[in-house]
A and B are shown apart, each in its own frame.
Chain A
Amino acid sequence: GAVVSQHPSRVICKSGTSVKIECRSLDFQATTMFWYRQFPKKSLMLMATSNEGSKATYEQGVEKDKFLINHASLTLSTLTVTSAHPEDSSFYICSARLAGTSDQETQYFGPGTRLLVL
């Protein structure tokens, strides 16, 4: 299957700072990437859909000015949590779909990034 990486795997930051999380498709091109948030023992909540070369589509209730998404290339999408606060602490997971292949319906997920805001 396709491989998706995330960096960093874990980050601790002070309240009020910004944190950038990278999501990369390592062996395929991804025109569409997705960002999810997962709370402890809870399901995944879709935050936004990231399209290469265009603005991200945010789900209802997700603040686009707080969670900045950039999809600058076919292999990289970034999520920046701006002015982070303790309630932003969570597990953030990205995923990507293979573009233009017979497997384009499957989303492949990164290993996740654990964010802790103090």
Chain B
Amino acid sequence: AQSVAQPEDQVNVAEGNPLTVKCTYSVSGNPYLFWYVQYPNRGLQFLLKYITGDNLVKGSYGFEAEFNKSQTSFHLKKPSALVSDSALYFCAVRVNSGYSTLTFGKGTMLLVSP
């Protein structure tokens, strides 16, 4: 079985400050890890993914995430938050297998204040 934990329901940060949204995972095998963002009443937008290679992955809108195998984590980061980054963020994992499906975390609401 595979699972994803996003320990924070909400993260508050001031505009211009760095932000981190935490994610840890559990899989049997090599993980494929993803971050998605969801704005109100919208579908999910793909931000970035880790499949293999460099542990630091850069994605859309200035976001990046670092794969840490020993800590089984894939935290999402951004050096300088924008008010427009306020949204619901989902971490997801699937195992490296053609028939595996994505498992999502419960989501973390990011609120960036002006």
A residues sitting closer than 8 Å to B (CB atoms) are: 1, 4, 6, 34, 41-44, 46, 49, 91, 93, 95, 105-112, 114
Contacts and interface: CB of A to CB of B under 8 A. Distances in A.
Contacts of A114: 41
A1 B105 CA distance: 23
Given A1-B46, A105-B51, A106-B49, A112 B104 contact: no
Q: Is the interface of A mostly helix, strand, loop or mixed?
A: strand
B27 interface: no
Nearest to A112: B43
Contact of B106 (A43, A108, A110): A43
A114 B102 CA distance: 22
Contacts of A106: 34, 46, 49
Interface residues on B, range: 10 to 19
Contacts of B17: none
Nearest to B91: A43
Given A44-B104, A46-B102, A114-B41, A105 B36 contact: no
A109 B44 contact: yes
B12 interface: no
B101 interface: yes
Interface in B11-69: 32, 34, 36, 41-46, 49, 51
B41 A112 contact: yes
Given A43-B90, A44-B90, A105-B32, A49 B101 contact: yes
A115 B46 CA distance: 24
Contacts of B105: 43
